[in-house]
Amino acid sequence: MAVLVTIGALVLAGGIAGCQKRIAIDDRPPETIAVRYVPADGYSDCLVASAVMCGNYVLDSQRLAPRDVRSAIKAAGGDATRVGDMQRYLAGQGLRMVPLRGRFSAEPPLGLAWWVLGRGYPMICVINRHAGNAEYNHAVVVVGFRPADAARGEMRVYLLDPAAPKRLACWDRFLFEHYWGSAGWVMLPIFEEPRAPRSGGSAQTGGRP
């Protein structure tokens, strides 16, 4: 009997240890935005890597390099982990980053799905796995969505995590929402500085093309 209990406990312990492993997919699914992955070089480079991924995608070039971004922000007396300093740096590159508190919906202009699916922008989202402790804020880039089960309509979120050993992760929607909400629903859209004013739709009313 004791042997059976021991066997059960060991298998259960192995199961728990195995459950800590998270899926990561290297092939890009067609419903994701083709963003070139940039890994974080250090323990505090997630925002730099995420901004470089989104900035280069928007510019359709590889103009931004993590090392240059870090150096430039540091030379200006800033901190590359701070949203405000990153915002200032990107403004000098012809890019605008507007920090917003988003929501998981397709409603413009604060809906994450609206930005990703409706407008085609990869979105930096700040997540936190340790709710209540802002020191653990972590930047990831959301690049798409897909239903996990068409019958039940569950949704999953594709994201690029600069700190992950594998590049493209696929999270359950509610897991993502939990972590995102723990960081205050902060999302950081990056887009090219508008060149000339035009009459017509606005972001407030949707601005759908």
Partner 1 sequence: MRAIAAGLTVLFVLGVTAVSAHADVIGQPATVRSSASPGGDIARPPVRPLPITAEQAAALESISHQPDQAVPPDTCAAYSPKAEKIATEASAVGFYAGYFGTLAAILISAAPL
Which residues 169-208 are close enough to bind partner 1 by CB under 8 A?
Answer: 170-175, 178, 184, 186, 189, 191-194, 196-204, 207
Q: Please, which residue, 81 or 93, has the CB nearer to partner 1?
A: 81
Given a contact cutoff of 8 angstroms between Cβ atoms, the answer to whether 121 and 91 are in contact is no
Residues 143-162 that bind partner 1 (CB under 8 A): 144-148, 152-156, 162
CB atoms within 10 A of CB 79: 13
Query: Whole-number minimum distance, CB 114 to partner 1, in Å?
Result: 8
Query: Whole-number minimum distance, CB 175 to partner 1, in Å?
Result: 5
Residues 82-141 that bind partner 1 (CB under 8 A): 82-85, 87, 96, 98-101, 104-106, 109-111, 113-114, 116-117, 119-121, 126, 130, 134-139
The C-alpha atoms of residue 186 and residue 114 are separated, in whole angstroms, by 15
What amino acid occupies position 92?
G
Treating both helix axes as pointing N-terminal to C-terminal, what angle do 46-59 and 83-91 enclose, rounded to 10 degrees? 30
- The dihedral sign for the CA sequence 63, 69, 75, 77: positive
CB atoms within 10 A of CB 185: 17
Query: Whole-number minimum distance, CB 159 to partner 1, in Å?
Result: 12
Count of residues interacting with partner 1 (CB under 8 A): 102
